[in-house]
Structure 1
Amino acid sequence: MKYSGIPSVALVIALNIGAAKADVESLDPIKITTHDWSGQIITTTIMGEVLKRAGYNIEYVQADYIAQFAGLKTGDLHVAMEIWETTGREAMDEAIETGNVVSLGESGMIAIEEWWFPSYMEDVCPGLPNWEALKDCAEAFSTAETAPLGRYLGGPVTWGGFDEERVEALELDFEVVHAGTDAALFAELESAYQRKAPIILWLYEPHWAPAKYDGKFIEFPPYSAACYQDATTGVNPSAAYDCGKPTGPIWKVAWAGLGQKWPGAAQAISNFHVSNAEMSAMISKVDLEGQAVDAVVGEWLSANEERWQGWLK
């Protein structure tokens, strides 16, 4: 057969992949952690797929949100794409202080995680969203299992958040009940909302829920680092955590050896940046429309090629 001088598509792809792999510093797998909520899996998959396109070998590893720092310190895990200022800052700071973990900067997303209630609960608990209203109407949030105590539905216990400590410090007549999974948390919200049943729960942004449901975050005493660390600070001079949760960036962190072994990947991860609005829209497609994470990520990559190509430079 006569050679036309035009390489086949398969050959072009193979040549391009070979060239990309020749440029990366190591073909050992970069182990990026995934957790149990859709947004984090989306964030991680975006970064992982960008690195794959650059020729890196990527391995996604399911890991506990806080316990993952043990693996990051030893180098058994390499990258965590979402450490929330609201719940992960203490663990992140401790890990960085060891010298075995480094921050790769902000992700572009700003975290809010706090107690949230649907607006119809204001009819039975006047004074909301001020936290002190909860002192007078805890029973309005009770269930058969917790009565007369109110029921606060927290996130999975692995998320942290100090909700039990907050209840005790603020002397609230609430029992903290943890949802088993992120999906279970929002399934219970949907069920309660449709029935206008009592509920107060952990809600967070970026996420689709604050846009879908009419409600408000509880206004606790403002967060300060001293509130968490010094019992004498705050409205209860005998207890720490007598304030709301912090808000702030969602951070990217890595094993300290990442930049030496895979400097190009470390730079690309540092350059990663998405907004709350972008992430909320992608979470909606996965959680509300039932689209696969890979499909949603693929659509985002196609629409933002120039942008993520810039992360690799």
Structure 2
Amino acid sequence: MVIRRFAQALTAFGLAVVAGCATTQAAVTPPPGVPSPPSCGTVNLAVNPWSGSAANAAVVSYLLKEELRCKVNSYELSETASWAGFVDGSIDVILENWGHDDLKKKYIDGQKVAVELGLTGNKGVIGWYVPQWMADENPDILDWRNLNEYADTFKTTATGGKGQFLAADPSFVTKDAQLIENLKLDYTLVYAGSEDKLIAAFRRAQRQKTPLLGYFYEPQWLLSDIKLAHIPLPRYKPGCDADADAVTCDYQPYDLDKIARKAFVDSGSPGAVFLKNWTWTNNDQNQVARDMTQGKMTADEAAKKWADANRDVWEKWLP
């Protein structure tokens, strides 16, 4: 009886293997008359100079390679240079676009080389911040109309008799110089030079209890490490920043979106479908960015860690 049951089990196993092979073969080679699915081919990603953009690219690149067998190239570019890549075909996708209505008008409406690919799921907030300890000690500093009273507090050797306002990378979305002038604030804008240097400055201000007023934004992993207090400027209303030189209102809140090369989307590449489906949260992005910047993981290591823990999320992105 035991031998018979073993033989039956072995036979069943053999049939299952044959059936499995047949199913796999059928998936790889379509029946006559049925066209083969398009190859993923190559996907060229723009990576802009902030950690969230690198985190986006890490996870997208990892899954495109592992799940769809795409070849992925990542290029570190400024935002403006990324858009220009749609013209010569060197860039297929910008994974995190912060507004740029002017560039949409040029490349989507005008040259028709790019298309909107949907929202990323991330909520973008840009604004003026001080370390939380400053707001706790001086609650009135959170009213922008009081900032001139604190100009001496923020003076540095680089600003002479004025207060310092610290910006990040000159290529970032910013209107701080115009705001300082138009709101008649006694400050001088100084660029930190990069996201890393801006983060280091806020860390130092927190650790050493030194005053700092500067540009910052979400999503950003640092905000789960240290607390910054946001200083609201005059309320944003649609159109209030239409004239960049005359702007006096706060930054627009962004629903961040994706932009793709039109020819890439029209090609029917599974990679384009995947990227259209891709959405995640600020928390997702911050987890990966933290692992890459603070955990010293490679992009693939951080992406694999996130993907292993979130299969139910990314399986919905697959074509």
TM-score of the aligned structures, taking structure 1 as reference length: 0.84
1:310 corresponds in structure 2 to 316
Contact 2:48 2:76 in 1 (8 A): yes
In the comparison of the two structures, how many residue pairs are matched? 290
Distance 1:214 1:304, change over 3 A: closer
CA distance in 1, matches of 2:124, 2:84: 23
Tell whether 2:96 aligns with 1:82.
yes
Deviations 1:117-138 (A, max 9, x none): 0123237755221211112222
1:244 corresponds in structure 2 to 250
1:15-26, aligned counterparts within 5 Å? 19=28, 25-26=38-39
Q: What amino acid is aligned across from residue 288 of structure 2 in structure 1?
A: M
Deviations 1:102-146 (A, max 9, x none): 111100110011111012323775522121111222221111221
Percent of pairs with identical residues: 24
Q: What amino acid is aligned across from residue 101 of structure 1 in structure 2?
A: A
CA distance in 2, matches of 1:24, 1:165: 52
CA distance in 2, matches of 1:119, 1:154: 18
Provide the secondary structure at the position in 2 that maps to 1:158.
Answer: coil
Deviations 1:221-247 (A, max 9, x none): 11233221148xxxxxxx522111111
Task: Compare the two structures and name the one with the higher helix fraction.
Answer: 2
1:158 corresponds in structure 2 to 171
Deviations 1:79-119 (A, max 9, x none): 0101124xx34433443222221111100110011111012
1:266 corresponds in structure 2 to 272
1:234 corresponds in structure 2 to none
CA distance in 1, matches of 2:144, 2:104: 29
Provide the secondary structure at the position in 2 that maps to 1:70.
Answer: helix
1:58-69, aligned counterparts within 5 Å? 58-69=72-83
Distance 1:308 1:215, change over 3 A: closer
Deviations 1:182-205 (A, max 9, x none): 111111111121111111112111
2:162 corresponds in structure 1 to 149
CA distance in 1, matches of 2:222, 2:101: 24
2:87 corresponds in structure 1 to 73
Q: Which moved more, 1:37-46 or 1:94-103?
A: 94-103
Q: What amino acid is aligned across from residue 264 of structure 1 in structure 2?
A: P
TM-score of the aligned structures, taking structure 2 as reference length: 0.83
RMSD: 2.5
Q: What amino acid is aligned across from residue 120 of structure 1 in structure 2?
A: W
Give 1:54 deviation, angstroms: 0.7
Structure of larger gyration radius: 2
Provide the secondary structure at the position in 2 that maps to 1:46.
Answer: helix
2:8 corresponds in structure 1 to none
Q: What amino acid is aligned across from residue 224 of structure 2 in structure 1?
A: A
Structure 1 runs of 4+ off > 3 angstroms?
122-126
Q: What amino acid is aligned across from residue 64 of structure 1 in structure 2?
A: S
Q: What amino acid is aligned across from residue 47 of structure 2 in structure 1?
A: T
1:56 corresponds in structure 2 to 70
Unaligned runs of 5+ in 2: 1-13, 15-20, 30-34
Provide the secondary structure at the position in 1 that maps to 2:134.
Answer: helix
Give 1:59 deviation, angstroms: 1.1
